Chains A and B, each alone.
Chain A
Amino acid sequence: MSVRVVPGLSGPEQKSFFRVTGVLLLLLCLPACSNLGVEPWERDLLAKPSMQIQGDSLDSAFDDHIYFSKEASSGGGGFSGGGCGCN
């Protein structure tokens, strides 16, 4: 016997209930996703150098070089090639 999540609905009805709920949730989610973000005049903090996603380029280049030569993983934030014979 299948588990009745919504009381009073048969097996196939349960399935279509979840399908419809899923589609509705997805439709509700879409505008929410496009609502993420800010208006151009709300970019005061995002425009600061400290909020640039790549961070300090020399710090991260040194880190990538060190960890590439000492560990078996590389890349992720950028390309994984090391350009060095240290690994």
Chain B
Amino acid sequence: MQLDRKKSIGSLLALATCSLLSSHQATAEESRWKFDTALLYYDEDERVTAVEPVFAASKTFADDSKISLKLTLDSLTGASHNGATISDQPQTFTGPSGSSSYTIPAGEIPLDDTFKDSRGAVSVQWTGPFKDGRSWSAGANLSAEYDFNSFSLNGGMAQEFNKKNTTLNLGISIEQDQISPVGDTPLEGSLYSDQIKKGSDEDKTIVDLLAGVTQVISRNTLMQFNVGLSHSSGYMTDPYKIVSVLESADLPLDYVYESRPDTRDKVSFFWKTKHHLETDVIDVAYRYMTDDWGIDSHTLDFHYRWQKEGFYIEPHLRFYQQTAADFYRTNLTGSPAPGIPGSINIDALPSEVSADYRLSELDSTTIGIKLAFDMGKDSELSFRLEKYSQSGDTDPADLDALIFQAGYSFYF
């Protein structure tokens, strides 16, 4: 009996010490800003190279409310597939501005190397304190690049139940984009050789709804399930992409500007589990997405955090698979119009068509590793190296990219 009492006093003391320590730690975090800085280097084999520095700052206040600010810069150079098929003859294309042209040798993927862009984005996110188990959040994002501007607002609510073991999340985001294509907007479905323009500014709106439940399963396991609905309307065509019109297997007669539907509805189901193995952590996520363009996709993401003294190693594997959009074609077919030189007839020109391989049947794999060092005083230095590989039915869909990231996080 006496022993029992001693034991329970002992555990009470331990508990009290723990809560004292944890409240002290919380105070230390409250008074300081957390800074996260990182640099991303992304390099595709013979295509796009991107360099992206990010600077983020966040602060948690005494009432547990939190503010986060983020600045992202993005610099892109290189070449991207213009949609045309590979030919056994050289192909000459006019750059989007109309003042330059580029020639693709026979047998090579038509890549537009006039592609160059830089982007700047800022975002601010605020999460309110929990009152009666409920917390509100709001945020805004602004992004600008040469031919594209985007602004979005989001709002959300989190409700805790069952001793904070269950959290229900609801969120809404509204994004407004403005697209100003270089050399104006080509008329969708029109002949490339005609260079017909329909305007200079286009826009689109994206409304996202997200509902999710996060559930503590046990001391070691946490699970999340989200359902997302997304409705896009407006200009979703890529103004720089074309579709080859072929007379025979390799002989292009002309090209047409691609044309995509002006609405898109997507539904996604997302499940994520984190499991703590006392030292290491397993993180598994799966997403199923389906839309009214005919695209269904499966994504499986796996991280294993191998915790060592003062550092951790985290291997990463990701598998992605999608079906093609209904309006995806590798090319169209046609023939020279009899008696009218330079004119062509296109066999069954669909109202919507795109040869963008990103809308084709596609598989991709990411394999990578992250190494992070504890630098003391809650600061961390990390490096990430990954290889991303895409493969599909056409040569442009076969792509390898290298992802390298260096990051440093600290409190100040």
Contacts and interface: CB of A to CB of B under 8 A. Distances in A.
> Do they bind each other?
yes
A26 B80 CA distance: 55
Interface in A33-87: 34, 36-48, 50-51, 53, 55, 57-59, 61-62, 65-67, 70-73, 75-85, 87
B215 A76 contact: no
A32 to B, nearest CB: 12
Contact of B297 (A41, A55, A73): A73
Interface residues of A, number: 42
**Which secondary structure dominates where chain B touches chain A?**
strand
B145 A84 contact: yes
A80 B266 contact: yes
Contacts of B312: 50
A82 B287 CA distance: 17
Contacts of A81: 150, 152, 173, 175, 206, 208, 230
Interface residues of B, number: 86
Contact of A72 (B54, B117, B297): B297
Interface string B314-329: 0000001010010000
B51 to A, nearest CB: 12
Contacts of A39: 163
Given A80-B268, A85-B179, A36 B216 contact: yes
A85 B147 contact: yes
Contacts of A43: 219
A80 B269 CA distance: 12
Contact of B150 (A37, A67, A80, A84): A84
Interface in B263-278: 266, 268-270, 272, 274, 276, 278
B210 A70 contact: no
B219 A75 contact: no
A51 B276 contact: yes
A77 B228 CA distance: 9
Contact of B405 (A34, A59, A85, A87): A59
Contact of B208 (A40, A59, A75): A75
A46 B222 contact: yes
B56 A38 contact: no
A84 B40 contact: no
Interface string B37-63: 010101000000000101010000000
A33 B202 CA distance: 50
**Which secondary structure dominates where chain A touches chain B?**
loop
Contacts of A38: 163, 165, 216, 218-219
B222 A83 contact: no
A61 B54 contact: yes
A80 B220 contact: no
A76 B268 contact: yes
B209 to A, nearest CB: 9
Contacts of B121: 83-84
Closest 7 CB pairs of A and B: A37-B165, A85-B148, A76-B270, A76-B287, A81-B175, A79-B173, A83-B143
14 contacts: A36-B166, A36-B217, A37-B217, A40-B164, A45-B276, A47-B22, A58-B407, A71-B320, A72-B297, A76-B268, A80-B208, A80-B266, A81-B175, A85-B147
Given A36-B215, A84-B119, 17 more contacts: A37-B162, A37-B166, A37-B216, A38-B218, A48-B276, A51-B274, A61-B72, A62-B38, A62-B54, A66-B42, A71-B358, A72-B322, A72-B359, A73-B320, A81-B230, A84-B148, A85-B179
Interface of B: 15, 18, 22, 36, 38, 40, 42, 52, 54, 56, 70, 72, 74, 117, 119, 121, 141, 143, 145, 147-148, 150, 152, 154, 162-166, 171, 173, 175, 177, 179, 206, 208, 210, 214-220, 222, 224, 226, 228, 230, 266, 268-270, 272, 274, 276, 278, 281, 283, 285, 287, 289, 291, 293, 295, 297, 299, 303, 305, 307, 312, 320, 322, 325, 358-359, 362, 364, 370, 384, 388, 390, 399, 403, 405, 407
